[in-house]
């Protein structure tokens, strides 16, 4: 899979930049490894992990886990999905690469690993940025530089955390997009945000929600709205474009018309996006 656009450093470069001391892969007991409690990814696809576990049973773990030494053994730095699959597969020992890393370096690498693999939903991504700022006294500019994003991209992501929990749950589950979430921030109170979020979940696009935010009253009835048409093919196209463009993409169909939504973060980002189509 191609690296996600904007994350140009890569994990290897991050390891080198952080002056991590790398050792050759060794085998350690799986019971000696504990997960990173600050892992930014909170939701894991259990079916995908089960499939990976079956592959590990047949072929073994092909890529070592990355860990750091701690007082009780080792802590995962990268590879929690593989670590979970190894436990299901019944492995007692696994190959690991041991690196000497600080708490800040561990948190940074865990976040970048997930961003590069597009494993985070928008809320997890925002929470990851916020955690770096809170725990290690970083600014948005600092975080942007560390993870290879623009400052505006980090700022727009973190803004989502100002939404009510109910709406964050809708974004996490994919009922509405991060773009919808940012549009909902313009409503004057939580009740109106929740009403508008429900309208968005019934198929209103981001522009419609933005226009709704400018009205005095938000309608309470949404029964007449037609839910968007969803097709497995749409999801496949979304994934292909996301990998190609390195940004969230949404394909939808409503009232016989299709819509393709591509996020961008500033003028330079839009210019770079346009160049991809030349």
Per-residue model confidence as pLDDT tens digits over 64-81:
888 999 998 999 988 888
Per-residue model confidence as pLDDT tens digits over 113-171:
766 665 678 998 898 898 888 888 889 998 888 777 888 889 999 999 999 999 999 99
Ramachandran class of 148: left when φ > 0, alpha when ψ lies in -120 to 50, beta otherwise: left
- For residue 52, pLDDT over 90 is answered with no
Say what the pLDDT of residue 117 is.
61
Cα–Cα distance between 242 and 240 in angstroms, integer?
6
| 80 classed as catalytic | yes
Cα–Cα distance between 36 and 24 in angstroms, integer?
22
Q: Topology of 10-138 in CATH?
A: 3.90.1530
238 against 54, higher pLDDT: 54
Instruction: Output the CATH code of domain 162-213.
Output: 1.10.10.2830
Cα–Cα distance between 270 and 277 in angstroms, integer?
11
Choosing from 80, 108, 113, 124, the catalytic residue is 80
SS3 222: coil
Cα–Cα distance between 157 and 147 in angstroms, integer?
13
- For residue 30, pLDDT over 50 is answered with yes
Say what the pLDDT of residue 263 is.
82
Say what the pLDDT of residue 160 is.
94
Quote the mean pLDDT of the chain: 80
**10-27 average pLDDT score:** 56
Q: Percent of the chain having pLDDT more than 90?
A: 25
- For residue 88, pLDDT over 60 is answered with yes
Question: C-alpha 179: how far from its chain's center?
Answer: 14
**35-45 average pLDDT score:** 77
How many CB atoms neighbour CB 133 within 10 A?
A: 16
Q: Quote the longest CA-to-CA distance of the chain.
A: 64
- For residue 193, pLDDT over 50 is answered with yes
Give φ, ψ of 246 to 5 degrees: 70, 40
Domain boundaries, the chain: 10-138, 162-213, 232-275
- For residue 57, pLDDT over 50 is answered with yes
**25-44 average pLDDT score:** 84
- For residue 82, pLDDT over 60 is answered with yes
- For residue 229, pLDDT over 80 is answered with no
């Amino acid at each position: 899979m191609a690296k996600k656009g904007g994350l140009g450093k890569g994990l290897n470069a991050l390891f080198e930049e952080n002056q991590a001391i790398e050792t050759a892969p060794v085998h350690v007991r799986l019971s000696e490894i504990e997960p990173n409690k600050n892992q930014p990814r909170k939701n894991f696809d259990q079916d995908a992990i089960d499939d990976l576990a079956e592959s590990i049973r047949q072929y073994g773990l092909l890529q070592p886990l990355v860990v750091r030494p701690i007082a009780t053994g080792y802590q995962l730095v990268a590879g929690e999905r593989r670590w979970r699959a190894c436990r299901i597969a019944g492995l007692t020992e696994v190959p690991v690469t041991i690196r000497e890393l600080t708490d800040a370096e561990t948190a940074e690498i865990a976040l970048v690993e997930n961003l590069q693999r597009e494993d985070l939903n928008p809320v997890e991504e925002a929470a990851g940025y916020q955690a770096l700022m809170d725990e290690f006294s970083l600014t948005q500019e600092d975080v942007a530089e560390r993870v290879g994003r623009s400052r505006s991209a980090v700022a727009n992501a973190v803004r989502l955390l100002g939404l009510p929990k109910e709406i964050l749950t809708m974004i996490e589950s994919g009922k509405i997009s991060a773009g919808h979430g940012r549009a909902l921030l313009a409503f004057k109170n939580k009740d109106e945000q929740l009403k508008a979020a429900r309208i968005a979940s019934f198929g209103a696009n981001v522009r419609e929600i933005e226009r709704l935010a400018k009205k005095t009253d938000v309608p309470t009835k949404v029964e007449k709205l037609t839910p968007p048409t969803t097709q497995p093919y749409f999801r496949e196209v979304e994934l292909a474009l996301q990998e190609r463009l390195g940004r969230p993409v949404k394909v939808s169909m409503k009232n016989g018309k299709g819509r393709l939504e591509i996020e961008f973060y500033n003028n330079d980002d839009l210019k770079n996006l346009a160049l991809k189509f030349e």
